[in-house]
Amino acid sequence: MKEGWEAVIGMEIHTQLATETKIFCGCRAEFGSEPNSNTCPVCLGLPGALPVLNRRVVELGARAALALGLELQETSIFARKNYFYPDLPKGYQISQYDRPFSANGKLTIMTADRDEHGHAREWKPMTIHIERMHLEEDAGKNVHEGLPETDKYSYVDLNRAGTPLGEIVTGPDFRTSWQAYDYVNHVRRVLQWVGASDADMEKGNLRCEANVSVRRVGDEKFNNKVELKNLNSVRFMQKAIEYEMERQVAAHESGEGVQQETRLWDEQKQETRVMRSKEDAHDYRYFPEPDLQPLVLSAEFIESVKMQMPELPDNMRERFIEVYGLNFADASQIVSDKDLAAFYETTARITADPRLSANWVLGEFTKELKNAGKTAAESLMSAEDLAELLNTLESGSINNNQAKEVLAEMFASGKPAAQVISEKGFEQISDSSAIEKIVDEVIANNAAQVERYRGGNDKLFGFFVGQVMKASQGKANPKVVNEILKDKL
């Protein structure tokens, strides 16, 4: 960012709530079906068809809101947002306006500046004000055939029309593109964590828009903002914001100024371009939806949603630090993935040393997962089996390198630790009568060295240990070998 200027960024996220059916009818909320097959008079917008609110939308919406630190509103009201578009057959979208489902969120995220390679510098907490999350229906999809100049047909697919969305709106709180980036990733992770949404940007069930303006440092008032759309990944979004910040500073400095408009990110050209001038809220002629009652949440309902919520990642991180003695960085990395966190906790509970478990889960296990392109939940090696391996390692009967080799095989085959250890012949001989026999042989075969050792050459002790280990093909338990050798010499 150019010296003397700062960016003001607010975020809007639309996330599809993970229900089986749509928000106001019983059609399946499912993509990839035959176009227009998941439709009925309600989501086709046929005259006289009446919407009925899906209870599951309210449950998952409440989970999302609570996970984002929002306050659920006792009464909220659905409203019609009027605009024309071919994929919106009613001519309005049922949304919420002045009485949203939830409001007043306070969310703490971790954020960091990045160096020129995109590597995070120091992570710091940042508290975001989330103004609201309201519930609404999605529109359908227009499908255009061919290139613009040869375009013959456009199609409308209404399978998506009426799928439930939560729209999450922040205040103009962000000052850098990386803060916005860290925020979206945080929201995505939390929504997946509580099961409110799949939050998969590639499948389009999480879409984000950034409102970006710039001003001179010290200015109180905001300049015109630009809404950035078509941000297909969090990284594209970050780049688009960065581009837009520079573009706007240049436009202000040249005296040309910035128009309030919607711009698209063009990943190929690495630039934003104008899509349309931006509407104001009054252009939509919002009014209360006459076909739906106000939505009233009872105290019992809110309580039951809270009861069903899993522990949130931030709370889990604190607990891991306190109970298992992990440091902040390791705990953060473990709770960045719900499956990994569950895997870790199972392992940590069985083993004697939870920090050793963390090292192995974040080290060898994560390496294997990355190579295989799997999640912890898909691992053939169970958390219990890893714990068994780590307990064997701690008992001293295999060494670190052997444990790594065993883990790789356990991961590939799903075999338990004991089986792999015995197949690889890593089992140590701890039986003292077997080791005694070897020690006797070594002593008998090295009479000269025995004489010198007994004459005071202590350094030769290591020689005998080496001979015994060699004779046992490395399998003798070194501790037992030491004891017996001392005894016999």
Residues found near Zn ion in the complex (CB under 5 A): 25, 27, 40, 42-43
Residue number with CB closer to Zn ion (78 or 236): 78
Under rule CB under 5 A, how many of the chain's residues touch Mn ion? 1
Q: What is the DSSP string of 419-465?
A: HHHHHTT---B--HHHHHHHHHHHHHHTHHHHHHHHTT-GGGHHHHH
Report the nearest approach of Mn ion to the CB of residue 133 (Å). Answer: 11
Residues 398 and 392: beta-carbon distance below 8 Å: yes
Within 10 Å of residue 473's Cβ, how many Cβ atoms?
9
Report the nearest approach of Zn ion to the CB of residue 420 (Å). Answer: 53
The DSSP code for 126 is E
Partner from Mn ion, Zn ion, none binding residue 40, C-beta < 5-8 Å depending on class = Zn ion
Q: Which amino acid is at 488?
A: K
Within 10 Å of residue 438's Cβ, how many Cβ atoms?
19
Quick one: which segment of 46-54, 62-70, 112-120, 161-169 binds Mn ion (CB under 5 A)?
161-169
Q: Which residue is nearest to Mn ion (CB)?
A: 167
Report the nearest approach of Mn ion to the CB of residue 81 (Å). Answer: 8
Query: Looking up tokens 């057959």, which residue turns up?
Result: 89
Report the nearest approach of Mn ion to the CB of residue 99 (Å). Answer: 15
Q: Which of 131, 137, 157, 167 binds Mn ion (CB under 5 A)?
A: 167
How many angstroms separate the CA atoms of 20 and 28, rounded?
Answer: 6
The DSSP code for 476 is B
Report the nearest approach of Zn ion to the CB of residue 166 (Å). Answer: 19
Residue number with CB closer to Mn ion (142 or 399): 142
Report the nearest approach of Mn ion to the CB of residue 80 (Å). Answer: 13
The DSSP code for 281 is G
Closest CA to 64 of 180, 192, 182, 164: 192
Residue number with CB closer to Zn ion (52 or 323): 52
Report the nearest approach of Zn ion to the CB of residue 301 (Å). Answer: 25
Quick one: which segment of 82-90, 162-170, 253-261, 376-384 binds Mn ion (CB under 5 A)?
162-170
Q: What is the DSSP string of 134-153?
A: EEEE---EEEE-S-GGG---
Partner from Mn ion, Zn ion, none binding residue 167, C-beta < 5-8 Å depending on class = Mn ion
Residues in the chain, total:
489
Report the nearest approach of Mn ion to the CB of residue 166 (Å). Answer: 9
Quick one: which segment of 112-120, 163-171, 350-358, 371-379 binds Mn ion (CB under 5 A)?
163-171
Residue number with CB closer to Zn ion (21 or 238): 21
Residue number with CB closer to Zn ion (36 or 346): 36
How many angstroms separate the CA atoms of 219 and 236, rounded?
Answer: 29
Residue number with CB closer to Mn ion (58 or 403): 58
List, in sequence order, the alpha helices (H) in 309-460: 313-324, 328-335, 338-350, 354-360, 366-372, 383-394, 400-413, 417-423, 432-445, 447-454
Partner from Mn ion, Zn ion, none binding residue 25, C-beta < 5-8 Å depending on class = Zn ion
Residues 176 and 169: beta-carbon distance below 8 Å: no
Closest CA to 486 of 443, 428, 422, 441: 443
Residue number with CB closer to Mn ion (15 or 21): 15
Q: What are the tokens at 480? A: 């037992």
Q: Which amino acid is at 46?
A: L
Quick one: which segment of 105-113, 166-174, 306-314, 374-382 binds Mn ion (CB under 5 A)?
166-174
Residue number with CB closer to Mn ion (167 or 242): 167
Residue number with CB closer to Mn ion (204 or 416): 204
Residue number with CB closer to Mn ion (167 or 345): 167
Report the nearest approach of Mn ion to the CB of residue 43 (Å). Answer: 17
Quick one: which segment of 69-77, 105-113, 165-173, 297-305 binds Mn ion (CB under 5 A)?
165-173
DSSP H or E segment with residue 263: strand 261-266
Closest CA to 19 of 167, 197, 161: 197
Report the nearest approach of Mn ion to the CB of residue 93 (Å). Answer: 7
How many angstroms separate the CA atoms of 448 and 37, rounded?
Answer: 91
Residue number with CB closer to Mn ion (167 or 314): 167
| Residue 390 falls in which region: left (phi positive, over 0), alpha (psi -120 to 50) or beta | alpha
Report the nearest approach of Zn ion to the CB of residue 27 (Å). Answer: 3
Q: Does 131 bind Mn ion (CB under 5 A)?
A: no
Partner from Mn ion, Zn ion, none binding residue 226, C-beta < 5-8 Å depending on class = none
Positions that interact with Mn ion (CB under 5 A): 167
